[in-house]
Copies of this chain bind each other. A is one copy, B any other.
Amino acid sequence: MTYFDCDYMAGCHPSVLQRLNLTNMECTAGYGLDPYSERARRLIRDLCACPDAQVSFLVGGTQTNATAIDGLLLRHQGVIAADTAHINVHEAGAIEAAGHKVLSLPSEQGKVQSQVLENYLQQFYADDTWQHMVQPGMLYLSQPTELGTLYSLYELEHLSAICRRYHLSLYIDGARLSYALAAEQNDVSLADLARLTDAFYIGGTKTGLLFGEALVVPRPNTIPALFSLVKQHGALLAKGRLLGLQFETLLTDQLYLSIARKAVSLAQRLKNAFLRSGYTLFIDSPTNQQFIVLPNEVIEQLHHDLSFELWGSQGENESVVRFVTSWATEEKDIDALEQCLASLKTLQKK
């Protein structure tokens, strides 16, 4: 069986594991107050060209989103997000559990359109009853989006400008940020994110770490008492150095980029294989997630040898499926997929 279900099926990148092995018997302070975490913080500040940035390491994405959003919003505020956003769909209501409404906007290819945002904000404040409604306090984006698409620098600049005009914080969920940074069509750097947002996170879980997300707050104290808030959200790892040394490894010598570039390149090979076989894309993704429209019987056939996720039905006879590559995907996995597609054709010819 070859696996394309998601980017967190295997353990961690061998370099990361090696570091864990080498340092296992050391004794350090807990809660991220160790030298590994400090070094990882410095690496991130350098990569972001943001020497003052406050960097915290948390275990997972949902808790990072919940903590950051909770810290950026005031009690009466909600967070604007695409209707397809992870926080709006797949976090079991973690944002609402902390008291905040997710104000969902219709999205295009997983992206919030600046015109849609601007219209929403104009209409909101034009409504006489706006003080009876949940006031937008921030904009949540993900880069890449849930559908693998990317915001261009031009789009981000535009969205960020709207946020400033309307006193919204801007936060970017970077669960798969490495894959965005590694995509050919990408023109947004970490330094751009540090310049344009109030907070964002660099995902580790989906880029070859056992676990871990690095929350970056470019202007310190934007989130008051962040350390305590992380603790309150149950997101403070006792053996915090595990996060620090994993990120230190990931960020040294651009390991995160080489991991992501390989995965993205394999994903593009995979996409082309489907296109060559005559199937259509649900969306044209430049990153490590690919969404293909397949006849249901093809899906059934492929499932004999390949493991991947159903994303949703598309009419009666077709469905959208998702194929994901990761640091652990190999050329031979795509070979296997191409062979499956080839044998399908043979089958159909008969």
Contacts and interface: CB of A to CB of B under 8 A. Distances in A.
A74 B134 contact: no
A93 B10 contact: no
A119 interface: no
Contact of A232 (B71, B75, B239, B310): B75
Contacts of A102: 101
A225 to B, nearest CB: 5
Nearest to A129: B90
B93 A232 contact: yes
B211 A93 contact: no
A132 to B, nearest CB: 5
Interface in A1-34: 3, 5-6, 8-12, 14, 17, 20-21, 23-30
A242 B210 CA distance: 8
Nearest to A1: B27
B12 A28 contact: no
Interface stretch (A62-70, A288-296, A339-347): A62-70
Contacts of A96: 78, 96, 99-101, 134
Contacts of A242: 11, 210-211
A237 B59 contact: yes
A278 interface: no
A9 B25 contact: no
Stoichiometry, copies per complex: 4
Contacts of A9: 27-30, 239
Contact of A21 (B6, B21, B62): B21
A110 B206 CA distance: 42
A59 B59 contact: yes
A11 B24 contact: yes
B225 A239 contact: no
Contacts of A315: none
Contact of A97 (B71, B99, B224): B99
A92 B237 contact: no
A65 to B, nearest CB: 8
A198 B25 CA distance: 37
A76 interface: yes
A71 B77 CA distance: 12
A101 to B, nearest CB: 4
Interface string A166-188: 00000000000000000000000
A216 to B, nearest CB: 18
A284 interface: no
Contact of A27 (B3, B21, B70, B205): B3
A38 to B, nearest CB: 16
Contacts of A11: 20, 23-26, 239, 242
A97 B78 contact: no
Contacts of A224: 74, 76
13 contacts: A8-B238, A11-B20, A25-B328, A27-B328, A70-B75, A90-B129, A91-B234, A92-B131, A97-B232, A131-B228, A206-B238, A210-B239, A234-B235
Given A74-B224, A93-B232, 14 more contacts: A8-B238, A10-B27, A20-B210, A27-B328, A59-B59, A63-B235, A74-B225, A75-B232, A90-B132, A92-B134, A92-B229, A96-B96, A97-B233, A233-B234
